[in-house]
Each structure stands twice: as C-alpha cells, then as structure tokens.
C-alpha cells in the first residue's frame, strides 16, 4: 500500500513563498491498495492536482472518504476533473450532518448550487454515488478495507483505518483529544474523566500497530492552552504521546496551521522531538509534505 499527500494545510489554502516547502493546499491524501484500488481521504484544494494526474486511468473507480464536511476538507471537490468525465464511477463516503439531518449528498450539493459554482450537479458526467456512514462501518473493495472511528471535532468527524494486503494506515481528519470540562473540585469530574479515559482508549486501539498514522497536529501545547481549547485540533506533544502509546511504526504530522511558515513549522517540530526525547525504539515522526509519496 502506498499513499501520497496532495494537501497538508488546515483551515484555508496558503500558497506562497513561506509555505512552498511543505505545501499550501488543504487536506487530501491519495492511497493505492495492493491491487491499485484508489482511495482518497478528504477533498480539500489538493484534490484538484490529484485529479489532473488520473486521466491515463480513465475510466476509473474512485472511493472518496470525507472525515467531515468543513470547508477546507471538501472545497476542492467541484474542481476534481474525474467528475466531469463519462465512464468514471465515484463513490463519496461521509457522515451526515446530525444537526440539520442532511445526508452527505445534501451537504455537498449545496456547494454546487448556482450561487457558488457554475456547473450544476445534474450536469456532471461521471457516475456519482453517496454513502452515509455510521460509526464503525466497514467498506471493502478489492483487497482494501476501510473502517471508521468517531473522533472529536465540533462537527461529526470520522477517522479512517485503511488496510490492504497486511499493511495499514490511520488518518484522523481533524481531531482534538477529549478533555474534562469539569474542574477537579467538581463532583462530576471523576465520572466524566472515566468517560474520557474510555474514549481515549478506544481511539488508541483504533490506531494500534498501524504502519502509518496521519494525525492532526495543528498547534503547540502553549498556543493550544492559551487560546485553542475546543477548536477541535491536536498538538505536537499529544500526537507524539498517542503514536508512542499505540505503537505505530511511522507518524505523519499534518493539518499545518495556515498562519505558520515552513520555517516556523520546522522549529516547532524539532523542538517537540527534543522535548519528548524521541529514541530509536519510538515511532518515526515525519512532517507531512505535499507531493511526497510513501510506502506503508
């Protein structure tokens, strides 16, 4: 199984000289299974360039899995060239909006309305289908299997575990580790902490022993504690701790903060590795970089 990053920034695309080394596109990951099955995780702006590479394979079957439907994870979809080509079959999997009770198809259709995009959904030439996922669903095609786990974000967010021919990868989408909303002096603190501990263990089990963990690592712990609690994103120290605890082989840190330059990103990364005393027995920690392909 191999995978390639087509977008690694969070929140908004940030092209320019300060982000050219790691890339300015928002989240999109291409995965190829053992029999070349194509899985795409999220449809941020990076999916545009990915789509432009696929023409030699047309007609093609594509399975897109959306972690959630925040703008930076879906905004590239209307410009994904395979959706305009007859004979292509594209299945989009994701969570419904539990607040509005809209299906993933209904949510995505809104960005194809005339006010936002000139091409109507009914004018798309590819065969499009949609799957509303429930927690712990398992989707299989060819030699590849995709399961999901509910993670913590302000909207319903699924992390995905992709397995093919003995290799495995987990992608978190956007994820903030659950925290106790009660003060330690509050009588509700203990019971709520038990819930958090159980939830964390379920997530660690979902990560367990994968070849590659791709995890939301937007902030350092200082800025998180000062102003980012509840925003739905992870930190360097928490990602490193989780990768160690779940015994993954390699951990790719992604969803880079859009206001951060490549130099600032690297400074935080190297400081975190030193602070957490990474040894040869620990997972390998890698900053996700746009355009780079890896083997799981």
pLDDT of the residue at 99: 79
* SS3 of residue 6 by DSSP: strand
Phi, psi of 252 (to 5 degrees): -105, 120
Angle, helices 189-207/236-245, rounded to nearest 10 degrees: 70
Q: How confident is the model at residue 296 (pLDDT cuts 50, 70, 90)?
A: confident
The CA angle 263-269-270, to the nearest 5 degrees, is: 95
Length of the chain: 296
Query: What are the two backbone dihedrals, phi and then psi, of residue 285, each rounded to the nearest 5 degrees?
Result: -110, 130
Distances (CA, A) of 58 to 43, 88, 229: 19, 7, 45
pTM for the full predicted model: 0.97
CA distance 136 to 127: 26
Local confidence band at 122 (pLDDT 50, 70, 90 cut-offs): confident
Task: Name the average pLDDT for the chain.
Answer: 96
Number of domains in the chain: 1
- Mean pLDDT throughout 167-175? 98
Q: What is the pLDDT of residues 92-104, one digit of tens each?
A: 999 888 878 899 9
The predicted structure's pLDDT at residue 98? 80
Residues 6+ apart with CB under 8 A from 64: 39, 40, 41, 43, 77, 90, 91, 92, 93
Split at pLDDT 50, 70, 90, the class of 20 is: very high
Which CATH number do you get for residue 63?
3.60.15.10
pLDDT above 70 as % of the chain: 100
User: In 235-258, which positions are buried (b, 16+ CB within 10 angstroms) versus exposed (e)?
Assistant: bbbbbbebbbebebebbbbbbbbb
Q: Find the domain containing 253 and state its range.
A: 2-295
pLDDT of residue 120: 82
Lowest mean pLDDT among 6-15, 42-51, 119-128, 175-184: 119-128
> How many distinct helices (H) and strands (E) make up the chain?
6, 14
List pLDDT tens digits, range 48-88. Answer: 999 999 999 999 999 999 999 999 999 999 999 999 999 99
């Amino acid at each position: 199984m191999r995978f390639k990053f087509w977008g690694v920034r969070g929140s908004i695309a940030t092209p320019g000289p300060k982000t050219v080394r790691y890339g300015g596109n928002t989240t999109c990951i291409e995965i190829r299974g053992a029999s070349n099955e194509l899985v795409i995780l999220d449809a941020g702006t990076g999916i545009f360039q990915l789509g432009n590479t696929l023409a030699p394979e047309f007609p093609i079957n594509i399975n897109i899995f959306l972690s959630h439907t925040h703008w930076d994870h879906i905004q590239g979809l209307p410009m994904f060239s395979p959706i305009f080509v007859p004979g292509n079959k594209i299945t989009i999997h994701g969570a419904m909006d539990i607040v509005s009770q809209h299906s993933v198809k209904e949510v995505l259709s809104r960005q194809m309305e005339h006010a936002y995009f000139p091409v109507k959904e009914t004018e798309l030439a590819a065969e499009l289908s949609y799957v509303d996922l429930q927690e712990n669903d398992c989707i299989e095609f060819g030699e590849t299997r995709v399961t999901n786990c509910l993670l913590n974000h302000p909207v319903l967010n699924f992390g995905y575990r992709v397995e093919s021919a003995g290799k495995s990868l987990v992608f978190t989408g956007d994820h903030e580790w659950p925290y106790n909303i009660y003060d330690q002096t509050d009588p509700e603190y203990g019971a709520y902490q038990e819930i958090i501990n159980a939830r964390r263990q379920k997530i660690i089990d979902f990560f367990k022993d994968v070849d590659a963990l791709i995890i939301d690592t937007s902030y350092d712990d200082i800025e998180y504690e000062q102003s980012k609690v509840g925003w739905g994103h992870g930190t360097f120290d928490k990602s490193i701790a989780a990768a160690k605890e779940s015994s993954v082989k390699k951990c790719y840190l992604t969803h880079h903060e859009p206001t951060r330059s490549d130099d600032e990103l690297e400074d935080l990364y190297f400081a975190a590795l030193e602070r957490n005393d990474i040894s040869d027995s620990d997972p390998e920690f890698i900053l996700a970089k746009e355009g780079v392909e890896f083997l799981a």
